[in-house]
Structure formats: structure tokens, C-alpha cells
Amino acid sequence: MRERVVLKWGGGLITEKHALKTVRTEVLDHLAEQIESCIQNGVDVILVHGAGSFGHLRAKEHRLHEGKLPEADINGSMTQEEAVEAVRNDMLELNAHVMQALTRCDISAVTLSPHQWARNTGAGFDGDLALFEQAPQGIVMVSHGDVVDCDEPRRFGILSGDDLVVRLATEIPGVKRLVFAMGGVDGVLADPPQPNVEDVLLPTLRKTDLFTGEHAVEMDVTGGIGLKVERGFQVTARGIEVLLVNGEKDRRVADACMGKEVVGTRLLA
């Protein structure tokens, strides 16, 4: 019996977060190889990737996460509607890099971009997940954070990959676990990383445990580690395992997806 997992590749892992539209090709290849191992070991993967520098910088500049604003409040280089199109295209460009990395590993994959099938934002967004569910064995269904249409008066907004994974993990039958692969961090830390201070990794985390998450508000238009943990607990509440691991080190992502013991943070229901 094959298992099914939902995997999120964070945008900060697959792109250089501070350099506009810069992809980390070696990281993508390393991650794609690990999906290949999963498939070969009987684990099917639904993949969601973030935006990193292909989404947040421009979305923030044009305040797309706030929805439609009066023209006077907006930076003059383009209208918000033009920025919506531009960010959607940038996300398609990043997605093409992801698909190329999967193809280099001979993985068959299909992308369903949210702006074509989803509406509204947050974990309660609207959109039919049937196509993800119907994927044949061994085919990776892919989606990503995106700018989606919203009901009036917002008109548009940012649907985070962290919201997509909640619905995918809890509504698609047979999903065993949800894995967040992150860049530059081994899991949830007791305190945000600081120079010359050793990180304290929390191997497990309960909803009641306190931690101070780092969130670069000046750059991110979605939620940082706090959103992942919050969304993760929505998923553990439905009996699905949730792990947060470092996507840059060893084969932790594959190990986590295959249910092996791994360095990272496990959320406890």
C-alpha cells in the first residue's frame, strides 16, 4: 500500500530570498532527488512550493496582500492589477524551474497554479481539490503560493503555500504526513537565530509550548514560521503527522517524508 505525503518547499529554501528572482538550482536538484527516492520507496508526494524572491518583494512593494487599495496609496511604477499579473508570471517562472528540476530526476509532475482554480485566502480558501486527489500513483501534483482573485472589496490577495497544504493534507484521503522543508534552520528554534549564540532546536512542540518565531515583516507578505506552526497544528488536530525540517542538510526531507527518525521539529497534537 503506497503512502501519501504533502510536502512544502519554503520559498526561502529554493530561492535567494533577498535577491530578486534568484533560484537556488543546486538546492532544487537536491530536493528533487529526494522526491525521487520517496516515489521509489512507495511514498507519493503532493508538492507545494513557496515564492521567496519571486513573490514577496514585488507583492510587498505593491501591497497586494492588502487587496485593492485607492490608486493614490500605491507606488507609481505600475497599477496593482499590473502587479498582480507580474507576480503571477514570476510565480509561473519559478514553477518552471521547479518542474525542470523534477524532470531532471525523471519525475512526472503536473502543476495546478492557484490563480487558475482557487479563490480567496487563508486556510479556508475556496477551490476544488479533486484533481490533486485523482493523481495516478507516482505522479507528483504541484502547486504553489500565488496571487488569487478574492471577493469584493479585496478583489485579490496572497494565498500562501502554507494555507494550501492545510487543505491538501486534511481533505485528500490517505495523507499520512505533512512536511515543511525550510532554508537555514533545522526546525522550530526556542529563540530566533542570533550571531554567536547556539540555536536550541525544539525536537517536539505542543500548542501550549512557547517560542519566539522570527518573522521578517519588512519582506514577507505571508506568515513566516509562526504561520507554519499555526497551520501545522490545524493538521495534527486531524491525526496527520507534521514535521518541520532543514531542506539544505543531508536527506532530511526524504527521511521525514518516509517516516524515518530525523533531525527537526515534530508537532504534537
Half-sphere exposure at residue 57, Cβ-oriented, CA atoms within 13 angstroms: 14
Cell digits for 188?
522550530
84 binds ligand IPE (CB under 6 A): no
- Binding segment toward ligand IPE, per CB under 6 A, in 25-33, 76-84, 159-167, 183-191: 159-167
If binding is defined by CB under 6 A, does position 160 make contact with ligand IPE? Answer: yes
Q: How far is the CB of 52 from ligand IPE (least distance, A)?
A: 4
State the residue for C-alpha cell 479585496: 154
Indicate whether 222 belongs to the interface with ligand IPE (CB under 6 A): yes
Measured in degrees and rounded to the nearest 5, phi and psi for residue 157 equal -170, 175
Q: Between 224-236 and 161-171, two packed helices, what is the crossing angle to 10 degrees?
A: 10
Nearer to ligand IPE, 58 or 252 (CB): 58
Stated as kind and residue range, the H or E segment containing 180 is strand 175-182
- Report the C-alpha gap between 40 and 216 in whole angstroms: 37
Residue from 158, 181, 188, 258 binding ligand IPE (CB under 6 A): 158
Residue 203 beta carbon to ligand IPE: minimum distance, rounded to whole angstroms: 23
As measured in angstroms, the least distance from the Cβ of 206 to ligand IPE is 24
Q: Which three cell numbers stand for residue 14?
A: 529554493
Number of residues that bind ligand IPE (CB under 6 A): 20
Compute the distance between CA of residue 177 and CA of residue 83 in angstroms, rounded to an integer: 35
* Residues comprising the chain, all counted: 269
Contact pattern from residue 223 through residue 242 relative to ligand IPE, giving x for each residue in contact according to CB under 6 A and a dash for the rest: --------------------
| Interface stretch with ligand IPE, choices 98-106, 140-148, 185-193, 235-243 (CB under 6 A) | 140-148
Three-state SS at 211: coil
> Under the criterion CB under 6 A, does residue 11 sit at the interface with ligand IPE?
yes
SS3 151: coil
CB of 117 to ligand IPE, least distance (A): 15
**Binding footprint of ligand IPE on the chain (CB under 6 A):** 10-12, 50-52, 55-56, 59, 87, 91, 145-147, 158, 160-162, 221-222
